[in-house]
Every structure is written in structure tokens, then in C-alpha cells.
Structure 1
Amino acid sequence: MKIATWNVNSAKARLALITDWLRAASPDVVLLQEIKCETAAFPREAFEELGYHVAVVGQKAYNGVALLSKTPAEEVMTRLPGEEEDEQARYVEATVQGLRIASLYLPNGNPAPGDKYAYKLRWMDRLYAHARGMLEREVPFVLGGDYNVIPEARDVFSPAAFARDALFLPQTRARFRALLNLGLTEAYRALHDDDHAYTFWDYQAGSWPRDLGLRIDHFLLSPQAADRLIDCTIDRRPRGAEKASDHTPVVLELRDR
């Protein structure tokens, strides 16, 4: 099974780029973030024509996530448990071929400190509780998406420049480590020990041509999913395309059961 995650920074604005990449890469499951449209406005027909079943949680102009799968997705969940008043479209989860898969868009949290950062930390606590619950029930799962977390200093072009950024603050990284300490596997780092392995380059200051990037898009795997891990790669090519998203796809490959 091949699973891709990609913050597309507007599904409608990048539709041709996304569908071209899907034709070439042909992932079985696609996790999209920042689709930036309401559920009804998502261009589902373009993806259905490529053979994907579509589950979408949208929001006007902001946020929004989608899960595309070549086989039907079952038991679709459209919000992260733990805060019923949270209306932001940041989470969709479903069962695909016996594997629980989620597309998540974790809050950015800037400026920190402040209400946005407090929301980010609460969201991470909710994700921790949900993952722990699935582990206790021995549910095999993959949590993929834009975590807005820089796990280590080597995952950013300048740790000093991000010392006070919500993506790199100690409290943020501690909560990410807490997820790993539950027994989850961060797929890319399980297989690669390289530096400059970035998934995001800002539109400003020539970040892309100068390779001033961050690694903030991740796959976290339950033990059952980690046992099936074959590969996890970053495809930098879409970031260099015309009118590209500021993120690029990360592709996970798992053995069949």
C-alpha cells in the first residue's frame, strides 16, 4: 500500500498540479491538507475520475482536509475527539483495507504565547489521547499530514531563526516526542538519517531556490503498521513546479498484510 500526504495550499488552485502528480505517482491513499474550500466546493469529480473514493472535511477559505482512497473508505470520522466546540476542519479518519488512516492538519500556533498556541497544545493533547486509545484497542493505524512540528534541529535550515516559533518551541517538540513514546514510529526518521530533508519551503526570501526548508509533514505509525514499513520518501519535484504549494508530498509504502 502506498500512502501520500500533501498540504496542497488550496485544492482548487493546485488542481492540475495535484492530478498530474497523482497520475504519475498513483498512490493507493492520498491525504490532503489545507484544501481551503467548503466540503461541497471540493473538486471531488476530478479525483473520482482518477479512481478515488473521496472523504472531505472542508471550511470556507481556511484549513480543510481530505482522504482519497482507491478502495472504499469505511467508518469515516470527521473530527478529532476531545473538544466538541472545535469547528476547525483539521481531521478526517477512515478505515481502508483494515488500516485506520487519518489526514490531519495540526494548528500552526503562532504567535506564541497566545490563544493560538494554547489551541495548538490542546489539539496535540487530544491527538495523544486518541492515539493512546487506538493503541489500547490494538487498532493498526497511520496518522499522516502537516503536523506543523519541527522535531529536531536538523529538520530546519536555521534552528536559531525558529527558536521562538510555535513549530519548534520546547513544549511543541515535547508533545511530539510524547506521541513517539507511546510506541509510535515516525516513518521517515525510521529509515533516513539525513539532514536537509525538508517538506516545506516558504514563498518568501527565495526559500525554495536557497533550500531554506523545514520538515513538518510526517507519518506516525502504530506498531502493527510499522511492522509493514518498506519506505518513506520526500518527493521534492512538485515544489519546483509553476504555482506550486509551499509543501511537497511525502510518500509512505507499506507491505501488504
Structure 2
Amino acid sequence: MTRRDWHKHNMRIATWNINGLRARLDFMKLWLADRKPNVVGLQELKTPTEDFPHEEFEALGYKALVHGQKSWNGVAILTNVDAELRQVGLPGQEDWGARLITAEIDGGIEFTTVYCPNGKSLQHDDYANKLAWYDSLVAHWSAGDHPKRVLCGDFNIVPTALDGWRGEAGAGTIFYTEDERKRFAAVMDTGLTDLYRHLYPEEQAFSWWDYRGGAFHRKHGLRIDFLLGTQAAVAATREVVIDRDYRKKLDGLTASDHAPVYADLHS
């Protein structure tokens, strides 16, 4: 069996908000060497496309498809299998930054990663913009018809009480509002399933913890980083891991405030 044939039957896909590419580059190298994912959706690069350090990842066997911008936002797809760029940016939402990129991955997966707006607060203009951005995402995603699709990234929404440390007490606050949850439900209603929740319907686990106040050690987190898939992706999923070990400081290097999330697929 050739390497290409192997990857058609076994693939590790991942999502990770790295909170600054320059700050996290050496940390990412440790993770890539350890976990050996085949396809990774990255968010919050905070790096212009032209400044992306391709050679650093090529040395590890990864090609990068990049939609970056200076200081803010930015998304990329790392892959060690063949991939072809399909979409850069969310149509109609270009003013809100580099937040979406899609590639066709060898092995028959259409892979999209997104960095959804934060919204800041219910009183901030960015909150209404966040809801409008989600409406555009639903419209864009609904227009696609690929049978095996993955939509992953930092969604900045806590879908249910189980997904936030405050539980029901969080209801009505930013990330937990009814309007945000309706938008997330609309994304799911396009035919997507939360791969982690599919395997672990009652597990409370988080993917983001504030740097402040010892939130990680106090288990004050949110699950806002998701791997969502169509039924073909769900059927292929064998395991999903929220990689908490890589939210910890390693070798003197500071982690992102988000943990990577990865899934192992077999077809």
C-alpha cells in the first residue's frame, strides 16, 4: 500500500486557534511532531499572508494554504497530503477580516476552517456583526453539495449548558445568548454533526480557558472549538480528542489559550 493509498483510508484532522503564529511557532512544531495530523485548520494567525513562514512547516512535511492579515484574524490549512484551494474568505463578509478558507483534500474531503467573530459584548457593534456573519456563513455553506465535508474552527459560541463551566448560569451572556445559539443551530441544520458530541454526548470538556485567574486549573473553560462533519464524515470518525496536554506550558513555551482538537477518520 502506498502512502497515498494509506491516507485515503486513515486521516487525522484537527482544528486549533493558535492565538498568534509568531508566538506559537515552536510550540506548534512540538505538537505536529507528536500528534502527526494530516490536515489542520488554524485560526487567529495574526500574520499577513505574505509573511507566513512556509519553510518552517515544509521542513516538517506540511504545505500551508493561507488567508492571513496583519495583527488580527487569519486562517490557514496545513496538510501533508495533496490539497487544492477552493475558497478564500466568506462572501459578503470581507470587511470582517480573514476568517474562512476551504480546500479539497486528497482522500475526498472538503475541509473548511473558520474563525468566527467574538462579538465582544452584547452592547458592542461587533455583536450584531457576529450574528450577521453567521447568517452569511449559513448561506454560503448551504450552497455547497460535497458529500464529505468538514467545517471546523473557533466558533465563539457555547451551544449548550454542558459546553461552558457556568452551565445554565451563563444563559443570556455573550457566547451563551439565544441569538448566538440559534445561529449555531442553523449551521448544524445544514446537515452537520458535532463529531466530539456524537461520540461523547454527555461529557463535559472544554477547549478554551482564559489565561487569567488560573482558569485552566480551576476547570473554568468553554467548548467553542469544533469539528463538524456531514454524515459521511461522521460515519468515518473513530475518535475525537480535545488535546488538553497542549494547553499546558511545554519546554518553557507558552501555549495558546485554546487546546487543539483532533479526530481520527477511517473509510
- The equivalences for 1:1-257 within 5 A come to 1-83=11-93, 85-97=94-106, 98-134=108-144, 137-159=145-167, 162-241=170-249, 242-256=253-267
SS at match of 2:212: coil
For 1:127 and 1:196, how far apart are their aligned partners in 2? 27
Alpha-carbon shift at residue 180 of structure 1 (Å): 1.8
* 8 A Cα contact 1:55 1:76, kept in partner: no
For 2:84 and 2:181, how far apart are their aligned partners in 1? 32
Unpaired runs of 5+ in structure 1? Answer: none
Alpha-carbon shift at residue 124 of structure 1 (Å): 0.9
Aligned letter for 2:17? N
Q: Deviations over 1:7-46 (max 9, x none)?
A: 0111111111101100010000011111111112222211
* 8 A Cα contact 1:199 1:215, kept in partner: yes
Aligned letter for 1:167? F
For 2:243 and 2:259, how far apart are their aligned partners in 1? 6
SS at match of 1:12: helix
Deviates more, 1:87-96 or 1:110-119: 110-119
For 2:84 and 2:263, how far apart are their aligned partners in 1? 21
Alpha-carbon shift at residue 220 of structure 1 (Å): 1.1
For 1:51 and 1:195, how far apart are their aligned partners in 2? 34
Unpaired runs of 5+ in structure 2? Answer: 1-10
SS at match of 1:95: strand
4+ residue segments displaced more than 6 Å: none
SS at match of 1:150: coil
Alpha-carbon shift at residue 80 of structure 1 (Å): 1.3
For 2:161 and 2:96, how far apart are their aligned partners in 1? 33
For 1:4 and 1:120, how far apart are their aligned partners in 2? 24
Alpha-carbon shift at residue 185 of structure 1 (Å): 0.7
For 1:37 and 1:224, how far apart are their aligned partners in 2? 34
* 8 A Cα contact 2:110 2:146, kept in partner: no
Alpha-carbon shift at residue 160 of structure 1 (Å): 5.7
Alpha-carbon shift at residue 56 of structure 1 (Å): 0.8
- CA RMSD between the two structures: 1.5
For 1:176 and 1:224, how far apart are their aligned partners in 2? 21
For 2:212 and 2:186, how far apart are their aligned partners in 1? 32
Alpha-carbon shift at residue 3 of structure 1 (Å): 0.5
Aligned letter for 1:146? D
Alpha-carbon shift at residue 139 of structure 1 (Å): 3.8
Q: Alignment identity in percent?
A: 42
Structure 1 residues 105 and 45: alpha-carbon distance in aligned structure 2, compared to 1, 3 A threshold: same
Alpha-carbon shift at residue 211 of structure 1 (Å): 1.2
For 2:191 and 2:82, how far apart are their aligned partners in 1? 29
Alpha-carbon shift at residue 73 of structure 1 (Å): 1.6
Alpha-carbon shift at residue 213 of structure 1 (Å): 0.5
* 8 A Cα contact 1:112 1:164, kept in partner: no
